[in-house]
Amino acid sequence: MAHPNVELIAALRETARRLKNGAPYAWGNHGTCNCGNLLQVITNLDKDEILHYAQTGVGEWTELAEDYCVVSNAPIALLITRLTEKGLTPTDIHNIEYLQDKEVLERLPGGFRWLKRNQRDDVVAYLDSFANLLEDKLLQQIEIPYQQLMQQERLTYC
């Protein structure tokens, strides 16, 4: 599962917002598919630049994510690296492309259901649910030192 962090959560939400508002979408195009749209947000590259870089590798985002090498200077490796730097794993990249992570699907509005990878509304629902899941996980990691705060408060009022 992805490493929850504010930047990744914001990128997922921004991608969903853009898709909801009519951003170009075509599942069969590396520049405008599920991961392509997310990369547009993360990298500030446009769909044509992403498509150009993606064509230096072979396969869909799933295969590209599994095959990339972090020491390679291949342009596709740069895109995959940008996704992993934001906290995604190759499995997350696969799941974003195919909308398959069951933990995310369980958090869909209305409950668990299978989504279609090439349906804009399904992608939006998945990305929003993924962002919500990561936000909840991030909030669970925050520890508030109540004892220390209470001691400081007592010292302030004494």
- Reported for 85-93, long-range contacts at CB under 8 A and 24+ positions apart, including other chains, are 86/5, 86/7, 86/8, 86/11, 86/42, 87/2, 87/3, 87/4, 87/5, 87/7, 87/8, 88/2, 88/8, 89/1, 89/2, 90/65, 90/66, 92/1, 92/2, 93/35, 93/61, 93/62, 93/65
Q: Is residue 30 part of a domain?
A: yes
Residue 10 tokens read as 């914001």
pLDDT value for 75: 59
Q: Is residue 1 part of a domain?
A: no
The answer to whether residues 47 and 32 touch, using CB atoms and an 8 Å cutoff, is: yes
Q: Is residue 144 part of a domain?
A: yes
Domain hosting 43: range is 6-157
The answer to whether residues 72 and 66 touch, using CB atoms and an 8 Å cutoff, is: no
pLDDT value for 156: 62
- Reported for 23-28, long-range contacts at CB under 8 A and 24+ positions apart, including other chains, are 25/120, 25/123, 27/117, 27/118, 28/118
Number of domains in the chain: 1
Q: Is residue 74 part of a domain?
A: yes
pLDDT value for 56: 62
Whole-model pTM: value is 0.81
pLDDT value for 50: 86
pLDDT value for 144: 72
pLDDT value for 79: 81
pLDDT by 10s per residue, the chain, length 158:
899 999 999 999 999 999 999 999 999 888 999 999 999 999 988 999 888 877 765 555 554 554 444 444 445 677 888 899 999 998 999 999 999 999 999 999 999 999 999 999 999 999 999 999 999 999 998 877 767 767 766 666 65
Q: Could you tell me what percent of the chain has a pLDDT over 70?
A: 80
DSSP code, position 114? -
pLDDT value for 158: 54
Other beta carbons within 10 angstroms of residue 109's beta carbon come to 9
